[in-house]
Amino acid sequence: MPSSKRENARIERRLVATLTQACETAKAEITGFDWLTHEVDQEAFERSLQVIWVFDTRASKERALSQGQDARMRELTAAALEDAGVSLPSLDRHLHFDSEEECHLQHGGDWRRRLARFRVTRG
Protein backbone atom coordinates (compact mmCIF):
# COMPACT_ATOMS: atom_id res chain seq x y z
CA MET A 1 0.00 0.00 0.00
CA PRO A 2 1.56 3.32 -1.05
CA SER A 3 2.29 5.87 1.64
CA SER A 4 0.42 9.14 1.69
CA LYS A 5 2.11 12.43 0.85
CA ARG A 6 1.76 13.43 4.50
CA GLU A 7 3.46 10.22 5.68
CA ASN A 8 6.28 10.65 3.15
CA ALA A 9 6.78 14.25 4.29
CA ARG A 10 6.99 13.06 7.90
CA ILE A 11 9.54 10.39 6.94
CA GLU A 12 11.51 12.97 4.93
CA ARG A 13 11.74 15.31 7.96
CA ARG A 14 12.95 12.47 10.18
CA LEU A 15 15.41 11.38 7.52
CA VAL A 16 16.89 14.86 7.24
CA ALA A 17 17.37 14.97 11.02
CA THR A 18 18.97 11.52 11.23
CA LEU A 19 21.22 12.07 8.20
CA THR A 20 22.33 15.38 9.72
CA GLN A 21 23.43 13.49 12.84
CA ALA A 22 25.28 10.96 10.68
CA CYS A 23 26.99 13.80 8.82
CA GLU A 24 28.19 15.49 12.00
CA THR A 25 29.53 12.19 13.34
CA ALA A 26 31.37 11.47 10.09
CA LYS A 27 32.90 14.96 9.94
CA ALA A 28 34.51 14.31 13.31
CA GLU A 29 35.73 10.83 12.35
CA ILE A 30 36.61 10.75 8.63
CA THR A 31 39.36 12.96 7.24
CA GLY A 32 38.31 14.88 4.13
CA PHE A 33 34.60 14.19 4.50
CA ASP A 34 32.61 17.43 4.04
CA TRP A 35 28.87 16.82 3.80
CA LEU A 36 26.14 14.49 2.67
CA THR A 37 22.85 14.87 0.91
CA HIS A 38 20.08 12.72 -0.44
CA GLU A 39 17.78 12.58 -3.42
CA VAL A 40 14.33 11.02 -3.32
CA ASP A 41 11.16 10.90 -5.39
CA GLN A 42 8.32 11.21 -2.87
CA GLU A 43 6.10 9.02 -5.06
CA ALA A 44 8.61 6.14 -5.02
CA PHE A 45 10.38 6.86 -1.74
CA GLU A 46 12.16 3.61 -0.88
CA ARG A 47 12.96 2.70 -4.48
CA SER A 48 14.35 6.11 -5.36
CA LEU A 49 16.21 7.17 -2.21
CA GLN A 50 19.90 7.92 -2.86
CA VAL A 51 22.34 9.05 -0.15
CA ILE A 52 25.48 10.81 -1.37
CA TRP A 53 28.56 11.26 0.86
CA VAL A 54 30.74 14.15 -0.36
CA PHE A 55 34.47 14.60 0.28
CA ASP A 56 36.60 17.69 -0.30
CA THR A 57 38.83 16.03 -2.93
CA ARG A 58 38.94 12.88 -5.01
CA ALA A 59 42.12 11.90 -3.13
CA SER A 60 40.35 12.21 0.24
CA LYS A 61 37.49 10.09 -1.04
CA GLU A 62 39.80 7.41 -2.44
CA ARG A 63 41.91 7.39 0.74
CA ALA A 64 38.83 6.97 2.96
CA LEU A 65 37.50 4.16 0.76
CA SER A 66 40.87 2.38 0.61
CA GLN A 67 41.09 2.57 4.42
CA GLY A 68 37.68 0.94 4.79
CA GLN A 69 35.87 4.06 5.97
CA ASP A 70 33.03 3.21 3.61
CA ALA A 71 32.01 0.57 6.16
CA ARG A 72 31.59 3.33 8.76
CA MET A 73 29.59 5.46 6.33
CA ARG A 74 27.36 2.46 5.55
CA GLU A 75 26.89 1.91 9.28
CA LEU A 76 25.98 5.56 9.86
CA THR A 77 23.61 5.55 6.88
CA ALA A 78 21.91 2.34 8.00
CA ALA A 79 21.42 3.73 11.51
CA ALA A 80 20.02 6.99 10.13
CA LEU A 81 17.59 5.14 7.87
CA GLU A 82 16.48 2.86 10.69
CA ASP A 83 15.95 5.82 13.04
CA ALA A 84 13.89 7.52 10.32
CA GLY A 85 11.80 4.39 9.76
CA VAL A 86 13.11 3.73 6.24
CA SER A 87 13.70 0.13 5.23
CA LEU A 88 15.76 -0.69 2.14
CA PRO A 89 16.43 -4.21 0.83
CA SER A 90 19.99 -3.34 -0.27
CA LEU A 91 21.75 -0.28 1.07
CA ASP A 92 24.57 -0.42 -1.50
CA ARG A 93 22.18 0.43 -4.37
CA HIS A 94 21.27 3.64 -2.54
CA LEU A 95 24.68 4.84 -1.36
CA HIS A 96 27.23 6.88 -3.33
CA PHE A 97 30.53 8.62 -2.64
CA ASP A 98 31.55 11.81 -4.43
CA SER A 99 33.78 14.86 -4.03
CA GLU A 100 33.69 18.61 -4.44
CA GLU A 101 36.68 18.33 -6.75
CA GLU A 102 34.93 15.88 -9.11
CA CYS A 103 31.82 18.06 -9.21
CA HIS A 104 33.93 21.08 -10.10
CA LEU A 105 35.84 19.21 -12.82
CA GLN A 106 32.85 17.42 -14.38
CA HIS A 107 29.93 19.80 -13.75
CA GLY A 108 31.55 23.17 -13.13
CA GLY A 109 30.60 23.02 -9.46
CA ASP A 110 26.88 22.74 -10.29
CA TRP A 111 25.67 20.26 -7.66
CA ARG A 112 22.07 20.42 -8.84
CA ARG A 113 23.11 19.17 -12.27
CA ARG A 114 25.51 16.62 -10.79
CA LEU A 115 22.95 15.19 -8.36
CA ALA A 116 20.43 14.79 -11.18
CA ARG A 117 22.38 11.69 -12.24
CA PHE A 118 21.28 9.97 -9.03
CA ARG A 119 17.59 10.60 -9.52
CA VAL A 120 15.50 7.51 -10.10
CA THR A 121 12.32 8.26 -11.98
CA ARG A 122 9.00 6.64 -11.26
CA GLY A 123 7.84 3.84 -13.40
Instruction: Give pLDDT tens digits for 59-71.
Output: 999 999 999 999 9
pLDDT of residue 3: 66
Contact 118, 52 (CB under 8 A): yes
Q: Is residue 26 part of a domain?
A: yes
Asked if 70 and 64 touch (Cβ cutoff 8 Å), the reply is yes
Residue 101 lies in a domain: yes
* Local confidence band at 122 (pLDDT 50, 70, 90 cut-offs): very low
| Domain contains 53 | yes
> Within a domain: residue 123?
no
CB 50 within 8 A of CB 96: yes
Domain assignment of residue 9, given as a range: 5-118
Count of domains observed in the chain = 1
74 within some domain: yes
pLDDT (tens digit per residue) in 28-84: 999 999 999 999 888 888 888 999 999 999 999 999 999 999 999 999 999 999 999
pLDDT higher at 86 or 46: 86
Establish if 65 belongs to a structural domain: yes
Task: List all residues 6 or more positions away from 4 whose beta carbon is below 8 Å from its beta carbon.
Answer: none
* 94: CATH: 3.30.300
Average pLDDT of every residue of the chain: 91
